[in-house]
Amino acid sequence: MSLLRFVISFIYYGLTINMGKLAGNLYVNFLVGVTVEGLGYLLCFVMNKTGRKPLHLTVMFGSGFGCLLSILPALFLDSSYTWLLVAFAMIGKFGISAAIGEIYIYTGELFPTVVRSFILGFCGVGARVGATLSPYIYHLADGRFGEALPLIIFGGSTIMVAALSIKLPETKGRKLLEKVKDAEHEDDISSDEYGNQCEKEMFSTNEKLEYTSSESSQL
């Protein structure tokens, strides 16, 4: 997950900075970029309908292929089709904006309560490293092919981590895991069984606390 957060931040900030190197009007590009970014955030609201994993894989692969397709107008079409390169870059921007919105929820639901804060902090470190490295890709954008080179790097990285994400479980409708051992045996019990098990443990703990409290008051 730390690698995933690294790549998402790397692509998100890299695409934002790379807007200045895209063909066309700088201000129009930024206006369109801000618009598709906002739409990407709004897409996160469908997570409760589609599930976490399907949305995550869709936006990651969509962003990756959108960036990779930018090589077509850069190498095989003349300068009158530079708008197509910008369009592919915006597809990548839309997908990665949705990814950076949904990944916080998905990461928090994947890990047990006892390690969740540590994991989120560790993933945050990876994200900050990715954001720090992203401006250096901006200097590769020189010449006709150079306009597409950062997008190719971004697209390849996104598809790589998206492929690794296929192994991640779905967390929609699943009760949050409490302990590490619950995560180890996650596939052995259903969501309802796990919920009943947690309730039994909670009631058992409360009964022990009440018994200890009553004994202390008698003393």
**Residues 75-116: tens digit of each pLDDT:** 776 667 777 878 888 888 898 889 988 888 888 888 888 888
CA-based nearest residue to 24, from 102, 99, 86, 111: 86
Topology of the domain covering 2-167: Growth Hormone; Chain: A; (1.20.1250)
> 97-124: string of b/e by CB count within 10 Å (b at 16+)?
bbbbbbbeebbbbbbbeeebeebeeebe
Which residue, 9, 56, 67, is CA-closest to 166? 56
pLDDT digits (tens, 9 = 90+) for 166-185: 888 888 887 877 777 766 65
Higher-confidence residue of 190 and 117: namely 117
Average pLDDT of span 202-215: 52
C-alpha span between 71 and 183 (Å, rounded): 42
Tokens of 179: 């302990």
Domain ranges in the chain? Answer: 2-167, 189-218
